[in-house]
Amino acid sequence: MSDPSPHPVETGPGAGVTLHGGDLAWRPVSRSLVTARLLVLGIVLAVPLVVGVVLALVLTPWLWAVPAAVVLVGAWGAWLVTRQVSAISWVELDEEIVIRKGRLFRTLVSVPYGRLQYVDIQSGPLARALGIASCEIHTASPESGGSLPGLPVDDAEALRTRLSARGEAQRAGL
Amino acid sequence: MTAPEVPVVDQASDDGWQRLHPLSPLLRGGVVLLAVLGYFVSQLVDRVLSSFDPGEDPTDDLPGGADGGVGLAVVDHPFIALAVLVVVVAAIAGAFHVSWRFTRFRVTGAQVELRNGVLFRQHRQVPLERIQAVETTRPILARLVGLSQVVVQSAGGSDSHLTLAFLAEPRAEALRAELLDLASRTDEGPGPAAADADVPDGAAPAQVPAGARDRTDEGTPVVAVPNGRLVASTLLHGPTVVAAVLLVLLVVAGGVSSVLFDVGPGVLAAVPALLPAAFAFGVGRVRELLLHGNFRMTRTSNALRMRHGLTELRASVVPLHRVQAVEAVQPVLWRPFGWWRMRVNVAGTGQSEGQEVQAALLPVGTIADVDAVLAPLGADPHDPLVRAALHGTGRDGGWTGPPPAARLFDPWSWERNGYALGDEVLHVRTGRFSRRMVLVPYARVQSLTLSQGPWERRRGLAEARVVSTPGPVSAAVRHLSVADAEAFLDVVGEAARRARRSVPGPAPDAAATARGDSPGNGPPLAPTTSTLVDWPSPHDPRT
């Protein structure tokens, strides 16, 4: 069964998919995802920060501990977001797409194109403003699909097209 | 092939539309509806009767009609009440009749259709090739009047089921057999048998000839579970036994201490507090017994049929080619008896209400029973890998498992846990005391995952997992070394790739030939043509 995809498949050797590192051309997601997640984090933390500052000014200087804690949490969150986003990588093989995520809790999912049911592209207002979208891959099992957050919109669309085409081609051979 | 099968003319109207049993609307309401109706009707009757007697309060139970019937106003009154009663009864009967009239179903060559609703109409169609399982159940109320319901399960969860409630029992059984037969024919593609029985759309449903129906209906017996064994195994349920022992210990300790130390019955007073828990356990056990009682499994050419249930008879069907993964479990308390429980993942029957029924392929069986069930599923029970998966331990014979570094996490079972690659099936085994074996054909692998938490990472371990369709069976090998986990991804991935390619797709004839399928004899048992792996993907749009 030949691959009718207009895009060449970025092949890797059949072996060599690793939980960590590796020779394959692992692709990162867009750095805009960091921005998006940092913005969300900032918005969430802004309220306690403002409240803490106001209370400290009004009541007692001891309450400066609250905004300080919020800032610390924010800094830790920002560090976490950066690391998490940089840990997301994916690669398209001949017959599978492989997605890796996480640093502390690492996961890797390898989804055969032939098992794809459908692919969702989603983007909220914030993601749209930053020009990114998330690509969600669904198989017959709800737990097995992978999701790729933070792809540039064009990449996400192209990925979906490629995935659907290969899904069709390889499913036909099932 | 054989003589053309003449479709038996169905019992109902034009275009093959058939109606359900007239009592259906009443029974569908269930006990609650009956109770409510009974209450209102009896209230009305009370009204009528007591209105003959002006002296008595209408709420009085005893009809005092004997000495009533005097006075002019009263003559009006009972008649009105009687009229109300008649009108209400007629209205209910009329509503039921209309509901019955508007509920129709038909089976065409391509699909099952159900129309219902008067104001809000619904027309549901399930293509025959989407049928995952057909089940007849008999709720106790329906059983009293000899009716059954037919549930047609299709991919897409319980919301997409089509329930035909209710039909007279023989008709329900015939319909189930017919649907299964039609569904399996569409699965096999337009073979000669299907061509013979093909009917134009809109014509009467193709009835299966009596002989074929018998074959579909009965099949060859595979396993029957004696109720004695079922009772014993149900009671030998870990948490239940522990709870019972604790309860007894507590009572004894309480009694002893109250006698010895004169603390009074304070400790014993705590016992009733435990009763709800004990009750919960009891209910669970009883439900298990009721569900699995009188368990019998038979096998047809393309499905395993189970009949079970003490109060509610259930007949469910596992189409062999939709089985995604098989599991055999031996809880530690069952080990002295050598009993196993088997469960399967069946494509299309997710976590729906039918799950319980689908889940237990075999509630309790001996090792011989396990073998008998494995054979039609396409696994060779005499394969040394299967034997090792059931009983074995250690790394000999092709097994890969956690390294000694995993001892910290699995002090007892690390030597037994592991996986082995068969020709067409992945074998996974876990548990030293309570044993578990999982078989997943490579052709059924949905996707593969690896995962690693911080503690595993420090020891250089990772978990490898084969993702199957939703169901009770999951195949994970925990705490493999990272290199082994990556190798798992590699070799199982490669085997799955090969299996996906080798399954014959667009040529149904090839598929049929490969299985050596002819209506009379079942699929061959040779391990090379295993039933588990020869079929196209369950989610292949073609099927």
pLDDT in tens, A9-38: 444 344 578 888 778 889 999 989 999 999
Query: With an 8 Å Cβ cutoff, are A115 and B537 in contact?
Result: yes
Q: Quote the tokens at residue B103.
A: 């509920």
Percent share of chain B, pLDDT over 90? 20
Q: How far apart are CA B184 and CA B132, in angstroms?
A: 10
Confidence of residue B435 (pLDDT cuts 50, 70, 90): very high
Interface test with A, best of B467, B481, B491 (most A CBs within 10 A): B467
Query: With an 8 Å Cβ cutoff, are B538 and A107 in contact?
Result: no
Q: Measured between CB atoms, which of B469, B489, B537 is closest to A110?
A: B489
Query: With an 8 Å Cβ cutoff, are B347 and A140 in contact?
Result: yes
The residue with greater pLDDT, B58 or B265, is B265
**pLDDT at position B126, please?**
75
Confidence of residue B326 (pLDDT cuts 50, 70, 90): very high
Query: With an 8 Å Cβ cutoff, are B489 and A172 in contact?
Result: no
Question: What is the widest separation between alpha-carbon atoms in chain B?
Answer: 100
pLDDT tens for B443-489 read: 888 889 999 999 999 999 999 999 888 778 889 999 999 999 999 99
CA distance A15 to chain B (A): 6
**pLDDT at position A140, please?**
75
**In chain B, where are the structural domains located?**
14-20+104-218, 24-102, 227-292, 296-519
Q: How far apart are CA B224 and CA B318, in angstroms?
A: 16
The residue with greater pLDDT, A42 or B397, is A42
**pLDDT at position A135, please?**
87
Considering only A115-129, B4-18, B98-112, which range has the smallest mean pLDDT? B4-18
Query: With an 8 Å Cβ cutoff, are A105 and B537 in contact?
Result: no
- How many other CB atoms are there within 10 angstroms of residue A17's CB atom? 24
- How many other CB atoms are there within 10 angstroms of residue B528's CB atom? 11
Instruction: Say if residue B532's pLDDT is above 70.
Output: no
Q: Quote the tokens at residue B391.
A: 């009983």
- Contact of B493 with chain A, judged by CB distance below 8 Å, is answered with yes
The residue with greater pLDDT, B347 or B325, is B325
Q: How far apart are CA B438 and CA B476, in angstroms?
A: 9
**pLDDT at position B436, please?**
94
pLDDT tens for B476-501 read: 999 999 999 999 999 999 999 888 88
The residue with greater pLDDT, B212 or A117, is A117
CA distance B525 to chain A (A): 23
CA distance B440 to chain A (A): 14
Q: Measured between CB atoms, which of A19, A144, A145 is closest to B485?
A: A19
Query: With an 8 Å Cβ cutoff, are A110 and B448 in contact?
Result: yes
Q: Quote the tokens at residue B345.
A: 């993942």
**pLDDT at position B159, please?**
56
| Chain A positions in Cβ-Cβ contact with residue B539 (cut-off 8 Å) | 115, 117, 140
- How many other CB atoms are there within 10 angstroms of residue A5's CB atom? 16
Q: How many CB pairs under 8 A join A and B?
A: 100
- How many other CB atoms are there within 10 angstroms of residue B273's CB atom? 8
Confidence of residue B270 (pLDDT cuts 50, 70, 90): low
Query: With an 8 Å Cβ cutoff, are B505 and A139 in contact?
Result: no
Rounded alpha-carbon distances, angstroms, from residue B485 to A90, B409, B466: 18, 16, 12
Residue type, A127: A
Confidence of residue B60 (pLDDT cuts 50, 70, 90): very low
Query: With an 8 Å Cβ cutoff, are B501 and A140 in contact?
Result: no
- Contact of B446 with chain A, judged by CB distance below 8 Å, is answered with yes
**pLDDT at position B202, please?**
33
Instruction: Say if residue B182's pLDDT is above 50.
Output: yes
Decide if B163 contacts B172 (C-beta within 8 A).
no
Global ipTM:
0.83
Residue type, B369: D
**pLDDT at position B485, please?**
93
Rounded to 10°, the helix B238-260/B271-292 angle is 150
- Contact of B101 with chain A, judged by CB distance below 8 Å, is answered with no
H-helix or E-strand containing A112?
strand A106-112
DSSP state for residue B276 in the 8-state scheme:
H
Question: Which stretches of chain A sit within 8 Å of chain B by CB?
Answer: 14-20, 95-96, 104-112, 114-115, 117, 139-146, 170-174
pLDDT tens for B358-371 read: 457 899 999 999 99
Instruction: Say if residue B64's pLDDT is above 90.
Output: no
Of A5-14, B50-59, B113-122, B269-278, the range with the highest mean pLDDT is B113-122
**pLDDT at position B281, please?**
79
β-sheet bridge partners, residue B167: B148
Interface test with B, best of A9, A116, A141 (most B CBs within 10 A): A141
Phi, psi of B382 (to 5 degrees): -95, 0
- Contact of B485 with chain A, judged by CB distance below 8 Å, is answered with yes
Contacts of B506 (CB under 8 A, 6+ apart): A172, B542
Q: How far apart are CA B314 and CA B358, in angstroms?
A: 11
Confidence of residue A91 (pLDDT cuts 50, 70, 90): very high
Query: With an 8 Å Cβ cutoff, are A115 and B446 in contact?
Result: yes
Question: Which chain B residue has the Cα nearest residue A142?
Answer: B470
Give the distance, in angstroms, between the CA of residue A135 and the centroid of all CA atoms in the same chain. Answer: 8
Confidence of residue B124 (pLDDT cuts 50, 70, 90): confident
Decide if B24 contacts B98 (C-beta within 8 A).
no
| Chain A positions in Cβ-Cβ contact with residue B493 (cut-off 8 Å) | 14, 17, 96, 110, 112
**In chain A, where are the structural domains located?**
35-83, 90-172
Query: With an 8 Å Cβ cutoff, are A104 and B454 in contact?
Result: yes
Q: Quote the tokens at residue B323.
A: 């089985």
Rounded to 10°, the helix B227-235/B271-292 angle is 150
**pLDDT at position B269, please?**
66
| Chain B positions in Cβ-Cβ contact with residue A107 (cut-off 8 Å) | 449-452
Q: Which of B333, B344, B293 is nearest to B314 (CA)?
A: B293
Rounded alpha-carbon distances, angstroms, from residue B327 to B269, B370, B396, B451: 44, 10, 22, 22
**Residue burial B434-456, b: 16+ Cβ < 10 Å; e: rest:** ebbbbbbbbbbbbbbbbbbeeeb
The residue with greater pLDDT, A128 or B74, is A128
* Helix/strand/coil for B124: strand
**pLDDT at position B63, please?**
44
Arithmetic mean of pLDDT over chain B: 74
Q: Which architecture does CATH list for B14-20+104-218?
A: Roll (2.30)
- Strands B360-365 and A106-112, by their bridges, are unpaired
Query: With an 8 Å Cβ cutoff, are B453 and A104 in contact?
Result: yes
Q: How far apart are CA B437 and CA B13, in angstroms?
A: 52
- Contact of B491 with chain A, judged by CB distance below 8 Å, is answered with no
Residue type, B183: A
Q: Measured between CB atoms, which of A109, A111, A173 is closest to B505?
A: A173
Exposure of A38 by Cβ count < 10 A (0-12 exposed, 13-18 middle, 19+ buried)? middle
Instruction: Say if residue B21's pLDDT is above 90.
Output: no
| Chain B positions in Cβ-Cβ contact with residue A16 (cut-off 8 Å) | 490
Residue type, B466: V
Query: With an 8 Å Cβ cutoff, are B501 and A96 in contact?
Result: no
Instruction: Say if residue B180's pLDDT is above 60.
Output: yes
pLDDT tens for B214-230 read: 344 567 889 999 999 99
The residue with greater pLDDT, A49 or B188, is A49
Q: How far apart are CA A152 and CA A142, in angstroms?
A: 25
Instruction: Say if residue B282's pLDDT is above 60.
Output: yes
Instruction: Say if residue B353's pLDDT is above 70.
Output: no
Q: How far apart are CA B457 and CA B434, in angstroms?
A: 27
Question: Which chain B residue has the Cα nearest residue A172?
Answer: B505
Interface test with A, best of B445, B447, B449 (most A CBs within 10 A): B447
Q: Which of B485, B444, B451, B488 is nearest to B467 (CA)?
A: B444
Q: Which of B295, B319, B332, B278 is nearest to B187 (CA)?
A: B319
- How many other CB atoms are there within 10 angstroms of residue A96's CB atom? 26
Considering only A96-110, B390-404, B426-440, B491-505, which range has the smallest mean pLDDT? B491-505
- How many other CB atoms are there within 10 angstroms of residue B410's CB atom? 18
- Contact of B123 with chain A, judged by CB distance below 8 Å, is answered with no
Q: What pTM did the predictor assign?
A: 0.65
Percent share of chain B, pLDDT over 70? 72
Q: Measured between CB atoms, which of B447, B494, B505 is closest to A109?
A: B447
Instruction: Say if residue A6's pLDDT is above 90.
Output: no
DSSP state for residue B434 in the 8-state scheme:
S
H-helix or E-strand containing B179?
helix B169-188
Arithmetic mean of pLDDT over chain A: 82
Question: Which chain B residue has the Cα nearest residue A18?
Answer: B486
Q: How far apart are CA B437 and CA B418, in angstroms?
A: 10
Phi, psi of B218 (to 5 degrees): -90, -60
CATH number for the domain formed by residue range(s) A90-172: 2.30.29.30
Confidence of residue A49 (pLDDT cuts 50, 70, 90): very high
* Helix/strand/coil for B162: strand
Q: Quote the tokens at residue B501.
A: 């390619």
| Chain B positions in Cβ-Cβ contact with residue A171 (cut-off 8 Å) | 537, 540-541
Q: How far apart are CA B161 and CA B151, in angstroms?
A: 7
Phi, psi of A169 (to 5 degrees): -60, -45
| Chain A positions in Cβ-Cβ contact with residue B322 (cut-off 8 Å) | none
**pLDDT at position B266, please?**
61
Query: With an 8 Å Cβ cutoff, are A19 and B467 in contact?
Result: no
DSSP for B447-511, written as a single string: EEEEEE-HHHHHTTEEEEEEE-SSSS--EEEEEEEHHHHHHHHHHHHHHHHHHHHHS--S-HHHH
The residue with greater pLDDT, A8 or B300, is B300
Name the residue with tokens 């009596």: B210
Q: How far apart are CA B190 and CA B125, in angstroms?
A: 21
Q: How far apart are CA B212 and CA A170, in angstroms?
A: 37
Instruction: Say if residue A7's pLDDT is above 70.
Output: no
**pLDDT at position B9, please?**
37
**pLDDT at position B17, please?**
86
